[in-house]
């Protein structure tokens, strides 16, 4: 990418930049674990530009050296305080694979270089600042802080951890997307209020020494009980999860002894269409800072540079996703005019070749709340909009999204508009008015060879735990997409995301998934092992063995070996997995799938045989080989290419994230 901007297009990143603007002091120093990309898909850019628009002076301090206290002193002490974020991704997810192995690259750092931020970045940065500035207000935000705002299970240490607010030495924590909260906090500080007195802002968490002035609160199990994990943690999380709605959410109190409490205020109200449009009209440079040119720039920008974020929030409620806890269940969407205006800007940018890579969000085809009731009374506590079946109140309508896509693809200079952030296939199937029309236009205009969707599994028992629809719904969707793609005269394929070792999945369910891959002729090159990240329902199940929604036991595969067995079953065609597959089949009581028949997954191992997949004899033995027949009810699926984009964060595009 050619960098078209100079330093003056960005906020100050050094004392020199600050003085060249004629500033003696900044109001806020934003300390962040990412490199500086001034684009609306990066939370730091949204929050810093929003504060700038309100008249505040913001200095940006990216990836300071966490081994040197002086590194956070670049701007001196800010007039109002420090804002701290780990970045667009949780720092532990950014650093480690699900196998707890260190990743080799960081897409949010210059040139993809790993190692420029610490583990548990919010904690490290907060304590670094506190050592340098004893009295300066420190305000945490971003997805790492948001999902660790109360006591939580930490997969990487296999232990419970306290609220990050306590361990980071910070004064206040903003959770969720952050726009309302950060402006209200900034204006309160500017009016002369002490950070200790800012206890009234929705969407924030603060510390208290007593509950004398805390009213109308629900008290959670204390740290002494929760730190043991088990039932106390599951019950605590169930209460937290039930209070993520801005209309019905209550104030929560988590005790840490007799004289220490963490208080979570109710969630902040969702942004209106006008407010969301205003966020995306801010004067972003839409580029990385020129200081990174020599390193080759910031890889994460390439995935979003020519994409449009059209919505936030998700009522899908997948158990393994943190969106409910971070963005909430109420969908907020930008206006057509806002998105068309940004699309025109994209089309005029240097390097634009006519392709808009995405028009979407957490779920691309969610453009309105699940039902009219949600904007008046909030999302129903204890009920799901889509799973296991669509709610009778659900308003499934792709009409607005269709009109939006038509307007954008008709713009001068736009050759094609892709939908890459994913659609919810059960939502499509629930749309009697426009679902078929949407699939026809999706196949004709918005897919390039492969449509990626996320059934995640085929066992209805596992899908119920995941919060996904029955497998039959996915099969109907695949047939409908195949009809649409054939009508378009194209050769296109549905490529499913599959997940192994999710709570609820044992070896029997993993075998069921392997048999489905066999029958549909699908050879998945990539399978996502369940990753227990903070503040998801599935992570609580992993930690406690209980479903916090029902308090019923859930089977959990926790040992690395069993997780390897489940993963190997899905990738049974890989010769390297042969021994694991045979072991898994025997342990599952499915030795009938070891043999030479067309339904067998692996052949018996004989002395001198090379490993061979799929029950097929090794070449040269005088036996015939044949391709597995495609599943009769599914579109043919080609192996998915390896993904080049950064690992999926716990669900967001934007925020003090």
Nearest by Cα to 330 from 361, 382, 371 = 371
Instruction: Enumerate residues 6+ apart whose C-beta is below 8 A from 648.
Output: none
Q: Is 635 exposed, middle or buried (0-12, 13-18, 19+ CB in 10 A)?
A: buried
* Cβ neighbours of 22 (radius 10 Å): 6
CATH topology of domain 306-442: Transcription Regulator spoIIAA (3.30.750)
- How far is Cα 650 from Cα 653, in angstroms, rounded to an integer? 10
Torsions phi, psi of 455, nearest 5? Answer: -70, -30
Place of tokens 């999926």: 648
Token duo for residue 473: 């719904």
Is residue 642 very low, low, confident or very high in pLDDT (cuts 50, 70, 90)?
Answer: very low
Average pLDDT over residues 275-295: 97
Nearest by Cα to 119 from 129, 106, 134, 137 = 106
User: Residue 234: pLDDT above 70?
Assistant: yes
- Percent of the chain scoring above 90 in pLDDT: 87
Token duo for residue 174: 């903003």
Instruction: Enumerate residues 6+ apart whose C-beta is below 8 A from 443.
Output: 451, 481, 484, 485, 487, 488, 490, 492
- How far is Cα 511 from Cα 570, in angstroms, rounded to an integer? 8
Tens-digit pLDDT profile for residues 549-589: 999 999 999 999 999 999 999 999 999 999 999 999 999 99
Is residue 609 very low, low, confident or very high in pLDDT (cuts 50, 70, 90)?
Answer: low
The answer to whether 266 touches 202, Cβ cutoff 8 Å, is yes
CATH number of 7-208: 3.40.50.2300
Using the 8-state DSSP alphabet, how is residue 396 labeled? -
Average pLDDT over residues 238-260: 96
Is residue 610 very low, low, confident or very high in pLDDT (cuts 50, 70, 90)?
Answer: low
Average pLDDT over residues 35-51: 98
Using the 8-state DSSP alphabet, how is residue 61 labeled? E
CATH topology of domain 447-644: Transcription Regulator spoIIAA (3.30.750)
User: Whole-model pTM?
Assistant: 0.91
Is residue 247 very low, low, confident or very high in pLDDT (cuts 50, 70, 90)?
Answer: very high
The pLDDT of residue 255 is 98
User: Residue 612: pLDDT above 60?
Assistant: no
Cα distances from 476 to residues 315, 316, 418, 473, 633, in angstroms, run: 22, 19, 23, 5, 8
Domain span(s) for CATH 3.40.50.2300 in the chain? 7-208
Is residue 483 very low, low, confident or very high in pLDDT (cuts 50, 70, 90)?
Answer: very high
Query: Which carries the bigger pLDDT value, residue 108 or residue 303?
Result: 108
Tens-digit pLDDT profile for residues 141-186: 999 999 999 999 999 999 999 999 999 999 999 999 999 999 999 9
Cα radius of gyration (the chain): 25
CA torsion angle 352 354 357 358 (round to 10): 110
Using the 8-state DSSP alphabet, how is residue 385 labeled? S
Tens-digit pLDDT profile for residues 187-214: 999 999 999 999 999 999 999 999 999 9
User: Residue 606: pLDDT above 90?
Assistant: no
The answer to whether 82 touches 137, Cβ cutoff 8 Å, is yes
Tens-digit pLDDT profile for residues 586-603: 999 999 999 999 999 999
SS3 of 321-344: CCHHHHCCCCCEECCHHHHHHHHH
Domain span(s) for CATH 3.30.750.210 in the chain? 306-442
Q: Is 252 exposed, middle or buried (0-12, 13-18, 19+ CB in 10 A)?
A: buried
- How far is Cα 601 from Cα 519, in angstroms, rounded to an integer? 11
Is residue 645 very low, low, confident or very high in pLDDT (cuts 50, 70, 90)?
Answer: very low
Q: Crossing angle, helix 336-348 and helix 399-409, to 10 degrees?
A: 30
The pLDDT of residue 180 is 98
Mean pLDDT, rounded, of the chain: 91
Domain span(s) for CATH 3.30.750.200 in the chain? 447-644
Tens-digit pLDDT profile for residues 497-514: 999 999 999 999 999 999
The pLDDT of residue 297 is 97
Average pLDDT over residues 398-411: 98
Place of tokens 């099969």: 475
User: Residue 445: pLDDT above 90?
Assistant: yes
User: Residue 382: pLDDT above 90?
Assistant: no
Q: Is 290 exposed, middle or buried (0-12, 13-18, 19+ CB in 10 A)?
A: middle
Average pLDDT over residues 327-342: 97
Maximum alpha-carbon separation in the chain: 86
The pLDDT of residue 416 is 97
């Amino acid at each position: 990418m050619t960098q078209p901007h100079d330093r003056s297009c960005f906020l100050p990143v050094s004392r020199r930049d600050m003085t060249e603007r004629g500033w003696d002091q900044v109001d806020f120093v934003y300390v962040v674990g990412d490199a500086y990309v001034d684009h609306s898909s990066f939370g730091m850019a949204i929050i810093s530009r929003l504060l700038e628009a309100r008249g505040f002076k913001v200095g940006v301090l990216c990836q300071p050296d966490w081994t040197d206290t002086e590194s956070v002193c670049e701007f001196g002490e800010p007039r109002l305080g420090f804002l701290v974020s780990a970045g667009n991704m949780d720092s532990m997810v950014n650093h480690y694979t699900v196998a707890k192995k260190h990743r080799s690259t960081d897409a949010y750092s210059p040139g993809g270089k790993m190692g420029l931020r610490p583990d548990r970045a919010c904690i490290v940065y907060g304590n670094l600042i506190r050592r340098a500035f004893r009295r300066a207000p420190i305000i945490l935000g971003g997805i790492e802080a948001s999902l660790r705002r109360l006591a939580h299970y930490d997969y990487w240490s296999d232990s419970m951890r306290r609220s990050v607010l306590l361990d980071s030495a910070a004064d206040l924590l903003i959770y969720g997307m952050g726009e309302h909260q950060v402006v209200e906090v900034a204006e309160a500080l500017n009016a002369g209020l002490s950070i200790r007195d800012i206890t009234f802002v929705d969407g924030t968490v603060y510390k208290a020494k007593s509950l004398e002035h805390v009213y109308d609160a629900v008290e959670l199990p204390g740290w002494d009980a929760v730190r043991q994990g088990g039932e106390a943690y599951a019950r605590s999380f169930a209460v937290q999860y039930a209070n993520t709605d801005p209309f019905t959410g209550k104030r929560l109190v988590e005790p840490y002894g007799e004289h220490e409490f963490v208080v979570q205020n109710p969630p902040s109200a969702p942004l209106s269409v006008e407010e969301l449009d205003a966020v995306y009209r801010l004067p972003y440079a839409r580029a990385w800072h020129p200081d990174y040119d020599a390193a080759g720039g910031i890889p994460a920008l390439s995935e979003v540079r020519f994409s449009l974020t059209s919505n936030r929030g998700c009522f899908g409620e997948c158990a393994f996703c943190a969106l409910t806890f971070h963005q909430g269940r109420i969908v907020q969407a930008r206006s057509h005019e806002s998105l068309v205006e940004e699309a025109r800007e994209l089309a005029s940018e240097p390097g634009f070749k006519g392709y808009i890579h995405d028009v979407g969000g957490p779920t691309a085809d969610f453009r309105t709340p699940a039902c009219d009731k949600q904007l008046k009374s909030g999302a129903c506590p204890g009920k799901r909009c889509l799973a296991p079946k669509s709610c009778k109140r659900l308003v499934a309508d792709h009409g607005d999204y269709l009109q939006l896509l038509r307007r954008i693809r008709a713009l001068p200079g736009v050759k094609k508009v892709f939908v890459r952030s994913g659609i919810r296939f059960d939502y499509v199937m629930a749309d009697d008015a426009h679902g078929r029309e949407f699939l026809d236009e999706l196949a004709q205009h918005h897919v390039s060879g492969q449509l990626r969707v996320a059934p995640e599994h085929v066992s209805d028992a596992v899908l119920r735990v995941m919060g996904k629809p029955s497998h039959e719904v996915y099969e109907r969707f695949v047939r409908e997409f195949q009809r649409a793609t054939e009508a378009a005269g194209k050769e296109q394929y549905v490529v499913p995301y599959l997940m192994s070792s999710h709570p609820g999945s044992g070896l029997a369910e993993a075998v069921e998934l392997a048999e489905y891959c066999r029958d549909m002729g699908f050879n998945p090159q990539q399978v996502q092992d369940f990753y227990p990240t903070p503040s998801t329902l599935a992570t609580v199940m992993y930690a406690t063995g209980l479903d916090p929604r029902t308090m019923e036991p859930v089977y959990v595969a926790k040992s690395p070996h069993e997780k390897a067995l489940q993963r190997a079953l899905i990738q049974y065609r890989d010769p390297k997995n042969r021994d694991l597959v045979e072991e898994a089949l025997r342990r599952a009581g499915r030795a009938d799938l070891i043999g030479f028949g067309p339904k067998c997954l692996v052949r018996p191992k004989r002395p001198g045989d090379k490993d061979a997949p799929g029950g097929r004899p090794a070449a040269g033995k005088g036996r015939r080989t044949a391709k597995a027949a495609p599943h009769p009810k599914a579109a043919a699926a080609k192996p998915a290419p390896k993904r080049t984009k950064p690992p999926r964060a716990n669900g967001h595009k934007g925020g003090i994230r």
